Structures are given as structure tokens and as C-alpha cells.
Structure 1
Amino acid sequence: MPTVSDHPFDTNVILDGIRRWVEIETPTDAPDQVNKLATLVADGYRGLPANIERVPGHSGCGDHIVARSSWGQENPGILVLSHLDTVHPIGFIERLPFHVESDSAFGPGIYDMKGGAYLAFHAFRELCAGGGHSPLGITHLYVSDEEIGSPTSRALIEAEGRKAKYVLVTEPARDGGKIVTSRKGVARFEVFIKGVPSHAGTRPADGRSAIRELANIIQTLEAMNDLARGVTVNVGVVRGGTKPNVIPEDAYAEVDMRVPTLADADELVPRILGLTSRTDGVSVKVTGELNRPPYEKSKTGATLFEHARSLAAQIGFELIDSYTGGGSDGNFTAPFTATLDGLGVDGEGAHTHYEQMYISSIEPRTRLLHRLYQTLR
């Protein structure tokens, strides 16, 4: 097999590297598996002018890997953000093994986002193989917990982001290769309701139904949806009661809210946290917070996108920006550092049984990352 430097952007070579990452299953809640991939990633930097820091995992999550170029670290540089964890459970690879059909390569996490993470790694390796250095130092942060909101990596992401001049996020492309220049903020809540139990047949008037009150709360939450404004509120999990002949004492719900601006978050988060019971004898407690701040398009972010678009045109493809309701680690850095997201592979089916990346996107998007490394100043 030819070496990487013989064919810098050989699609088959890059795809083989992606395959090796995909075939190590890495659900967030399997830290040993995530750490197995983290070791493979760290080993990939052997012989390169880079320093590797391994940040031990905790709270049930795996380790984080920080790969820093040996040059340019004294000044603000480029931070590349990637995550190694996936949503697919252990054993899912039996259902969705790595395989190729026409222009698609399939596998758990291949699109979201092992493909993109590998492209950025390969671009860095080729930058080094060319014997030159980028004008700015490069730090590539691989985290282990993005799929659950980055609870153990957020502080690290924000600290590295504040030190950087630019942030490049290797989340997958959107809708035919579009780049991401803004994302909604994400808030998560838990609703706890306590009622009064009683026999549903002989003493129904003595009870106070927690489930009935939860139904009231759900209607209030659903009424906050405003698609024209870009606000979505989803009650995604509900539980309650014990037996059909018992007035339910307890009920519970989990809620997801997406907001396009910080002003929306400032208005709606307190409203949800302040929900109260309409029924005497029933209590409502809501906990939660804005997990990811909105990633609003900034002037510096727009300038970074225009630079990337000009590079893409030189490579031979059109780069279009987009807005998405999905959150990423770019939400944490966009408020204070120019951030460009969606730089990973093109494809479809994130988090599904048919997740796939488009092989034809490998070469141009690796070249784009490589050129961003070479030209950002």
C-alpha cells in the first residue's frame, strides 16, 4: 500500500482510516470502549510534531485527547473540535457493519462524526508530511461525551476556545454539504410531580392525580412551541403511576427546548423553571438549564465562512452556509471565538440504522480542512 504522503488525499487510504475508527464501537456510556478509540487516535500522532495530553475521564465518561502542534502554541491559533462518542449501543455494528455501497460507506457513527474527525486528523498529518508548518498553531480536541451534552468536557472546550483565534468543528455537513454557521441553543429539563394516592374505585375523591397534573404541564409546554420564531419544546419522556386502580402519586417528564437566540433563552428558561401546579395538594418541581448556548452568526464567524467558501471554490466545490436546530460543541465557543461548524463529511442518517457518509465528499472536504490550516492567520 502506498504511503499517505505519496497520495496525500487518496480517498481509499482515508476511508480505511475511518473504517478502523468506526469498527471500535464507542457509545458514550461505554468509557472503556471510548478509551480504546482514544488510544488509537493518540497513537496516530506518533512521529508527528505534536504533543498529546490525555485528560482522564470521570462521571462515567471516557478520556479526552488534546493534540497540540509543536509550533504556534504561544499565540491564539486554530482549535479543532471533534467527538469520539456515538449514540449507537454496543453490538449495533452487527446490525450496521462497516460496508460500502456505491458512493456510501455505512457504519455506526461514521457520519456523526468519526468521518469528520478523521478528515481533520488526516489533514493535519498531511500538513506535517509536507514538511511545513501552518501560520497558526493547531490544537485538536477529541472529547468523549458530546452526545450527552459534553458534561465532563465543556470546561475544557471553553478554556481551549477562549485561547483560540478560530474554531473548526468537524460535525457532519448538512443537506448536500452545507457548512454550519449558526445553531439553536439547547435546554434540558426534568419535571417532578407529587400527588396524593388513593383507591381509584372506592376513594377516588381522596386522591390527587400526579398524571393529570402532568397532562396540564404538557399542554403548557406544548403551547410554547413557536415554529415561526424558531422555538421548539418537546416533552420526550413521561413516566408515572403504579397500578391502574391507584390514583397516581408520582409523575415525571423530560423536556428538550431549542431556542435561536440568547434573548429567547432568557425569556423561556425561567418560564419553564417556574411552572406551578393548577391542583391543590399537588406539587410541581422543575430542574434544568440551558445546556448549550445558541450559536449565533457573528461578524467574525461570517468572515471565517467567506474565507472557507473561497477556498472551497478553488478546490472545485460550492460551500453554502446553513442554520440548524441541532446543538454541537461549537455552541460553547461561538459566543466568543470565530467558529465554523459542519466541516465533516457529507452523508445522511445520523443516529439511525442506515447512517452513512458519502465517499465522494472525502477528498474535497479533507482538502478544505488542509487549506484552512495552511491559510488561516
Structure 2
Amino acid sequence: MPTILEYLKQHSTDMEETLVRLARAESPSRNKRLSDRCGRVLADLFNELVGGETEMIEQQIVGNQYRFTLGSGPGQILIIGHYDTVWDEGDIPLREENGLLYGPGVFDMKGGLAITLWALKALKHAGVPFNKKVVFLVTSDEEIGSLHSRTLIEEEAKKSELVLVPESSISNSGAVKTFRKGIGIFRLEVSGKAVHAGINPWEGVSAIDELVLQLQDLKGLDDREAGVSVNIGTISGGTRTNVVADYAEAVIDVRFRTRKQGEALEAAFRSRPAFTAGAAVHVKGGINRYPMEETEEVLALYSELKAIAAEHGYALGHGGSGGASDGNFTAALGIPTIDGLGPVGDGAHAVHEQVLLENLPYRAALIAQLLARHLD
């Protein structure tokens, strides 16, 4: 019997066809009709390639979610992914050129879905016993914040001893992700007092002036060495040039490496003093996702993956991302989580989004052999 990698190489063309079928089923996050069509394609592929138990979890606003299950036993391994993309229908064409497949979601993250299906198929073909339950949970709203799927993800994670995330790898290098930053989004709303800017400007309270002072103070939280960033994304306020502004607001994105940093940022935003007499400052929003931290358990998983890759004849690197994924949710619960297991590619959320087709068997084998090690 061929090895898992040899088997997958023999089916490289079939793997490409699987990815093409998924990519053709375009699935913008906010288009339920198209998303549901993609979900059905995914379910059909699971049934054709893998078999097992399929459960559709109906949604009213976004595409339906899917829970695919294989095996049984006292333990559970969770694989999480999403089939929604940032692209509206027809935004970018699907095309193959020089061994690369370009198209909507091929890198983020339908390539990861395709290799997961084939990893599971390869394990079944090799006769690997599924002595634990493997749950492949695929959601439809990751690109818009996972508001409809977060509870489901966390419920499954709490039953699991390990979480694999076949999200896009680190661009071009194929390195896996052993950490992801946490994200917070805050809205700073400032109220003042409007007066005529020429007749009695000093009797007013400028919300814009106060907002400027607030933002200058908050930018002091930036710490490049520590991996903490404070980005003032949008600002607005005022009504006319000859009126002292009675309202101004800003929306601010923060990123951080550790939970402790996130808690400190939250506290700094919640305790905003007004710098201008008569101004009022209100803060909305908060931490959306705590980070996926690079723990000893995560590095141990990376070491296993590195060893498997060496067996396949290449060096596998690791690193992190300032962007978040649903793996942040599972890691925040203390479940060992490793991310970026998707194929080599580039251009997530960009018009040149692409996947290296010859890499698909190698990445599927990486997932399959890691699973085999933990299914005993």
C-alpha cells in the first residue's frame, strides 16, 4: 500500500478538481443564497470523498454551518474552517496559470477545506483507526466576525483535546502559524457644546479638540517591540466650519500578542478621562478575540509537523500573524491550537489570491499524518 503522501500525489488532479468545485461555488459572507449553495457543494464533497456523519446547522442570516464527524471514542479532535469569502460574486475570475490557481477564496480558505477533505480520505484509505471522534466544523461567517458561529465553535472546542485550523499559511513560505494576535475594536464618542466659532468660540466645548487629545493619548499605547498596535481607523465630527463641534467620534483597531496586553488595553479604553472641561467621553466596543498565544503545547505540535515535513523532504517554518481567525476562540479556552495549515499560496483578500497546486498533496499529508499520531 502506498504511503499517505504517495496516495495523495496519485490523486493530485482530483485534489485540484475538489478545490475548483469549491471555488466555483462563490460564497460572499453576506450573500446567504450563494453561501448556502457553497455549503451544499462542500457537503456533497464530504459525502463523496470521506463519508461519515453530516449535520447541517441552519442559519437565518448567514450561510448554514456544517458539522462533519468521523470515528468515535473518549477523545475528540476538532478541525475548524470557514467557506465564506470576502469577494462578491464575479469580483475576480477563477483561472489556472503556471501551476497556480487564482480565484476567490482559493487561499483563504477553500484550499484548506480541500486538503482537509483529502487528508481524511487518505486516512480512511490507509486504514488508520479513528479511535477518537474527529469533528470537521465549517462555518460561513468568519470573514465578518463569526458572530453567528462563535458559540458553536467554542462548544465543540470545549469537548476537544486539540484544534487544527487549515487556514491560509504564511504567504509564499507555507509556514504554519503558532500565534495570532488578538483584536479589539473600540468606538470613542465625544460630546461637547456647539457655539458660533466667530462670535463666542471660547464659550463652547469642541468635541473635535477633545477627540484629538484622546487620540494622542491612546497612540501612546503603541508598542512595536511588544507587538501592540493602536490604529485610528476612522474619525468624524462637526457640522460646519463656523460652528464649534458638539460631537466627534473615532473607531480604533487594537492588536496585541498576549491576553494580559489585551486586558490592559481594555482597561485603558474603559477609563478615559476627559481632558477638556465640559466634554464627555463614551467608549463602546471592546476586545473581539483574544490572541492565539505561542505556548509550549503549540510549539510541541509544530515540532511534530516539522518532523513530518522533514520526512516528506522539506523544511517547515512557523511564525505568526497580526490577523485573527476562529482559532483565536479555541486557543483562548486553553485548547492547544495550531493554525495556518492550509496550502502554500499568497494574496489573501487581494485580487491576486492564489494557491500553488503542486503543494496540495503535501499539505493534505501533513494534516493526515498529524491526525494519525493523535488518533491512537
Same fold (TM over 0.5): yes
Paired residue secondary structure (1:246)? coil
The worse-fitting range, judged by mean Cα deviation, of 292-301 and 154-163 is 292-301
122, 125, 140: which one pairs with 2:121?
Answer: 125
User: Which residues of structure 2 form unaligned runs of 5+?
Assistant: 1-5
Counterparts of 2:214 and 2:89, CA distance in 1: 36
Counterparts of 1:339 and 1:87, CA distance in 2: 24
209, 212, 234: which one pairs with 2:209?
Answer: 212
Give 1:344 shift.
0.3
Under a length normalisation based on structure 2, what TM-score does the superposition of the two structures give? Answer: 0.91
Give 1:105 shift.
1.5
- Using a 3 Å threshold, how does the CA distance of structure 1 residues 24 and 237 change in structure 2: closer, same or farther? farther
1:156 corresponding residue in structure 2: 152
The alignment status of 1:355 with 2:353, answered yes or no, reads: yes
1:50 corresponding residue in structure 2: 52
Give 1:130 shift.
4.6
Under a length normalisation based on structure 1, what TM-score does the superposition of the two structures give? Answer: 0.90
- Using a 3 Å threshold, how does the CA distance of structure 1 residues 23 and 195 change in structure 2: closer, same or farther? farther
1:269 corresponding residue in structure 2: 266
Q: Any residues of structure 2 matched to 1:337-356 within 5 Å, and which?
A: 337-356=335-354
1:3 corresponding residue in structure 2: none
The 8 Å contact of residues 134 and 375 in structure 1, kept in 2 or not, is answered as no
1:250 corresponding residue in structure 2: 247
Q: Partner amino acid for 1:151?
A: L
Counterparts of 1:181 and 1:260, CA distance in 2: 12
The alignment status of 1:76 with 2:75, answered yes or no, reads: yes
**Aligned-residue identity in percent:** 33
The alignment status of 1:173 with 2:169, answered yes or no, reads: yes
Give 1:202 shift.
4.0
Counterparts of 2:349 and 2:159, CA distance in 1: 32
Paired residue secondary structure (1:287)? strand
Structure 1 residues 251-310: Cα deviation after superposition (integer angstroms, max 9, x where no partner): 222111111111112222110122232122221111222211121122322222211111
1:40 corresponding residue in structure 2: 41
Counterparts of 2:235 and 2:29, CA distance in 1: 23
1:11 corresponding residue in structure 2: 12
Q: Partner amino acid for 2:136?
A: H
Q: Partner amino acid for 1:15?
A: E
The 8 Å contact of residues 165 and 341 in structure 2, kept in 1 or not, is answered as yes
Q: Partner amino acid for 2:145?
A: G
The 8 Å contact of residues 178 and 318 in structure 2, kept in 1 or not, is answered as yes
Give 1:68 shift.
0.7
Q: Any residues of structure 2 matched to 1:359-370 within 5 Å, and which?
A: 359-370=357-368
Counterparts of 1:340 and 1:369, CA distance in 2: 11
Q: Any residues of structure 2 matched to 1:130-141 within 5 Å, and which?
A: 130=126, 132-141=128-137
The 8 Å contact of residues 49 and 128 in structure 1, kept in 2 or not, is answered as no
Give 1:206 shift.
4.0
2:67 corresponding residue in structure 1: 66
Structure 1 residues 38-70: Cα deviation after superposition (integer angstroms, max 9, x where no partner): 121112222543111222224x3322111111x
Counterparts of 1:12 and 1:193, CA distance in 2: 58
Q: Partner amino acid for 2:112?
A: G
131, 142, 163: which one pairs with 1:146?
Answer: 142
2:96 corresponding residue in structure 1: 100
Paired residue secondary structure (1:122)? helix
Paired residue secondary structure (1:44)? helix
- Using a 3 Å threshold, how does the CA distance of structure 1 residues 206 and 32 change in structure 2: closer, same or farther? farther
User: Which residues of structure 1 form unaligned runs of 5+?
Assistant: 1-5
Counterparts of 2:204 and 2:323, CA distance in 1: 41
The 8 Å contact of residues 182 and 324 in structure 2, kept in 1 or not, is answered as yes
Give 1:230 shift.
0.9
Paired residue secondary structure (2:47)? coil
The 8 Å contact of residues 103 and 358 in structure 1, kept in 2 or not, is answered as yes
Structure 1 residues 317-374: Cα deviation after superposition (integer angstroms, max 9, x where no partner): 2111212222111111124222111100111121112211222321211111122232
2:230 corresponding residue in structure 1: 233
Structure 1 residues 91-121: Cα deviation after superposition (integer angstroms, max 9, x where no partner): 41xxx20112213221122111111122112
* Root mean square deviation of aligned Cα: 2.1
2:3 corresponding residue in structure 1: none
1:111 corresponding residue in structure 2: 107
Counterparts of 1:242 and 1:359, CA distance in 2: 54
Counterparts of 2:326 and 2:182, CA distance in 1: 11
Paired residue secondary structure (1:117)? helix
The alignment status of 1:301 with 2:302, answered yes or no, reads: no
Counterparts of 2:180 and 2:37, CA distance in 1: 31
Counterparts of 2:90 and 2:207, CA distance in 1: 38
